[in-house]
């Protein structure tokens, strides 16, 4: 019976898509991916790296996403991350799984402020959570 309960919980899970990247600049492929992610999840979170790459700043990338967001579903949320977007994903999952940030080792980084904000907003929805991470296949 326990396996059936787990199956039911997973089917009723609050689904979250996480899309980390530099997005320097955001392009139509990123837009299409965000749109698909939004259609497959109850919340779609885009995590923009705070670094400048190829003369495109994080602020410029964020402005492009603001324009894109007018054409994306309401469940897409864009955050500029001061550290690594991949680190932010680990921290978000950690907080959602544990109800708070739990250090996994002595070398664990303190949670990024943006991570805490994202996890706090997501945790207002009833768990369990089913999280998918969107990434680009570089092959």
Alpha carbons 68 and 27: distance in angstroms, whole number: 10
pLDDT tens string for the chain (139 positions)? 445 444 445 567 889 999 999 999 999 999 999 999 999 999 999 999 999 999 999 999 999 999 999 999 999 999 999 989 999 999 999 998 888 888 887 777 788 999 999 998 888 887 788 888 887 654 4
Half-sphere exposure of 23 (CA within 13 A, CB side): 33
pTM of the predicted protein model: 0.85
Compute the residue count for the chain.
139
């Amino acid at each position: 019976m326990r396996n059936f309960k787990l199956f039911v919980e997973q089917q009723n899970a609050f689904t979250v898509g996480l899309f980390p990247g530099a997005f320097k600049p955001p392009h139509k492929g990123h837009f299409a991916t965000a749109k698909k992610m939004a259609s497959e999840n109850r919340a779609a979170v885009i995590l923009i790296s705070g670094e400048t790459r190829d003369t495109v700043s994080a602020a410029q990338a964020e402005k492009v996403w603001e324009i894109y967001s007018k054409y994306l579903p309401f469940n897409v949320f864009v955050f500029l991350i001061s550290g690594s977007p991949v680190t932010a994903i680990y921290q978000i999952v950690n907080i959602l799984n544990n109800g708070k940030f739990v250090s996994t080792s002595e070398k664990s980084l303190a949670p990024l402020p943006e991570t805490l904000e994202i996890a706090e907003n997501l945790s207002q929805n009833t768990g369990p959570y089913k999280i998918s991470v969107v990434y680009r296949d570089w092959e």
